[in-house]
Amino acid sequence: MPDFLKDFFSWSNKERIGVIVLSTLLLALFFMNFFFDRLFSSKMETWSTDSLSYYSQILDSLEKEITLEQSYKHQKQESIELTEKQKIKYYQFDPNKIGKKEWIFFGFSDKQAQSILNFKKSIKGFKTKDDLARCYVIDSTKMDQISSYIKIDTTFFQTEILNDSIAIVSGSAISEKKNKIKSLVLVELNKADSIQLLSIGGIGPYFSNKIITYRKQLGGYFKKDQLLEIWNFDSTRYKMVYDQIVIDSNLMVKINVNQAEVDLLKSHPYIRWSLANAIVKYRLQHGIYKSIDDVKNVVLMTDSIYKKLSPYLVVD
């Protein structure tokens, strides 16, 4: 070997150790870089503009398909409902005279038809269209569809009620045979009990109770048309009972405006708290009322209220 090569490869111990250490470090760095790239590779991916556009088109396409499917289902449902409506051919009818088959023909289920019949029985017949609308199985849409075809025979209804009523003869209740129209008996509204009120054609247990309750609140009736002030007591029913009732105004309980306090006055259906308070204050400021007409001087007393209220007032 030439001398210059010998000089080049002739290292001291320190030089050899340095070369070995340096070589080891280089190998370590190489392998660390190799394994680091595989163990800690970046999970973030870069989306190109073309990729984003492609996936955006896919999403738009899916949204359109979902929208079209929903629209199809909605149109299909409307078509089914329209077809069902077209199948039903309504005709003029009396709800008191048809049975379950007819109600089913009008588009109600067997269970709904039976509910309507049960409701009719519970209220002793449909007196008006509003009575029919109160049945929970008949919604507003269905009621609108059949309303123009409804024709209630009030003569028939009145006869049916009379067949089920209780006749009163000489103040005692006597049962009559079914399907026989009872004789009409005059009933005095201010002293009649619930049994006597039931003898009136067109009055059942519900209105018998309501008439007595309202009579207590008023202090008695002084004219027949006060019955129309009872909730749901309509003009049709009023016409039915008009010739079967009489009123004795001497049986009315009256209020002494010179003694009554606010609580007693406001308990009357025709007097609100503000008016009751005004009546008492006027009495305290101007002295006792000398006549019923003096009540007109109270600020809140209108002519219409006075006309209704005056039969219940006294100054004695």
Note the pLDDT tens digit of each residue in 13-39: 777 787 788 888 888 877 776 666 565
User: How far are the Cα atoms of 113, 150, 178 from residue 99, in angstroms, in the given order?
Assistant: 8, 14, 21
- Supply the pTM of this predicted model: 0.44
Q: What structural domains does the chain harbor? A: 100-152 (no CATH), 157-246 (1.10.150.320), 255-314 (1.10.150.310)
Question: What was the pLDDT predicted at 86?
Answer: 53
CA distance 264 to 257: 10
Backbone angles phi, psi at 188, to 5 degrees: -85, 120
CA distance 269 to 302: 15
**Highest mean pLDDT range out of 90-94, 151-155, 253-257?**
253-257
Q: Does residue 175 have a pLDDT over 70? A: no
**pLDDT average, residue stretch 133-161:** 76
User: How far are the Cα atoms of 53, 68, 85, 195, 294 from residue 62, in angstroms, in the given order?
Assistant: 14, 10, 35, 73, 82
Q: Does residue 5 have a pLDDT over 60? A: no
DSSP state of 233: -
CA distance 46 to 52: 10
Question: What was the pLDDT predicted at 105?
Answer: 85
Helix (H, G, I), strand (E, B) or coil at 124: coil
234: nearest Cα among 124, 307, 135, 131: 131
Question: What was the pLDDT predicted at 253?
Answer: 94
Distance of CA 5 to the CA centre of its chain: 111
Spatial CB neighbours of 224, under 8 Å, sequence gap ≥ 6: 189, 238, 242, 245, 247
114: nearest Cα among 125, 126, 102: 102
Name the residue with tokens 């009489």. Answer: 246
pLDDT band at 136 (very low <50, low <70, confident <90, very high): confident
Q: Does residue 289 have a pLDDT over 70? A: yes
Backbone angles phi, psi at 253, to 5 degrees: -95, 120
Sign, CA torsion 231/234/240/242: positive
Question: What was the pLDDT predicted at 181?
Answer: 39
pLDDT band at 58 (very low <50, low <70, confident <90, very high): confident
Q: Does residue 132 have a pLDDT over 90? A: no
